[in-house]
């Protein structure tokens, strides 16, 4: 009986420590207010506007790079409403197109929709950062799973945006994306 007690106590302790680490000391512990005092302010309408080039990698659940990509974006804003068209080319030769519809509130809150987003994403621009949370549906060819996504973008002093996203299923991280975004040449065309 003592062995069972110690086993259960150990399991509870392990889950409690993991919860505390996740809540207070890792990627998911970040809050928009952590970046509110930055001097360089991230404004979606300014920094995600016009043609943008994106380059990045996707890490699988074991921490190894599973995919590399280049994206060409075209972002347009009318007041606080934006459309961001994305065209991705992956290292395996495949391509992907997505269109985000963004709504920016006067308080910095963001609402976002896309065809592969379940429901509506929500987030906040604060100081030098933007956070966006949403549920993302993988293509059927990749299993069609719905993943909980936390997306952070950080504005670098030169205007480049560093993007880090984590994708989770049942609370377990299954992938991570790291990318940069920067203004592209004005002559760039994005496939529709």
What pLDDT score was predicted for residue 192? 47
State the greatest distance between any 2 C-alpha atoms of the chain, in Å, as a whole number.
73
Conformational region of residue 56, where left means phi above 0, alpha means psi within -120 to 50, and beta covers everything else: beta
Q: Which pLDDT does position 187 carry in this prediction?
A: 45
Q: What is the rounded CA–CA span in Å between residue 34 and residue 128?
A: 10
Residue 53: exposure state from Cβ atoms within 10 A (0-12, 13-18, ≥19): middle
Joined together, the tokens standing for residue 1 give 């009986």
Residue 170, Cβ density class (10 Å: 0-12 exposed, 13-18 middle, ≥19 buried)? exposed
This prediction has a pTM of 0.80
Provide the residue-wise pLDDT of the chain in tens; the chain has 192 residues.
677 766 666 666 566 555 555 555 566 877 777 777 777 788 999 999 999 999 999 999 999 999 999 999 999 999 999 999 999 999 999 999 999 999 999 999 999 999 999 999 999 999 999 999 999 998 888 889 999 999 999 999 999 999 999 999 999 999 999 999 999 875 445 554
Taking residue 44's Cβ as centre, other Cβ atoms within 10 Å add up to 20
């Amino acid at each position: 009986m003592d062995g069972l007690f110690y086993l259960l106590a150990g399991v509870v302790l392990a889950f409690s420590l993991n919860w505390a680490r996740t809540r207070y000391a890792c990627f998911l512990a970040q809050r928009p207010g952590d970046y509110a005092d930055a001097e360089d302010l991230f404004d979606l309408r300014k920094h995600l506007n016009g043609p943008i080039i994106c380059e990045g990698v996707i890490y699988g659940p074991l921490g190894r790079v599973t995919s590399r990509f280049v994206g060409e974006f075209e972002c347009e804003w009318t007041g606080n409403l934006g459309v961001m068209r994305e065209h991705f080319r992956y290292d395996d030769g495949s391509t992907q197109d997505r269109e985000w519809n963004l709504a920016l509130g006067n308080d910095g809150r963001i609402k976002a929709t896309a065809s592969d987003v379940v429901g509506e994403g929500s987030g906040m621009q604060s100081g030098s950062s933007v956070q966006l949370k949403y549920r993302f549906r993988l293509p059927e060819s990749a299993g069609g799973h719905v993943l909980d996504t936390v997306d952070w973008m950080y504005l670098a002093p030169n205007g480049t945006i560093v993007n880090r996203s984590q994708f989770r299923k049942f609370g377990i991280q299954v992938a991570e994306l790291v990318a940069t975004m920067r203004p592209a040449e004005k002559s760039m065309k994005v496939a529709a």
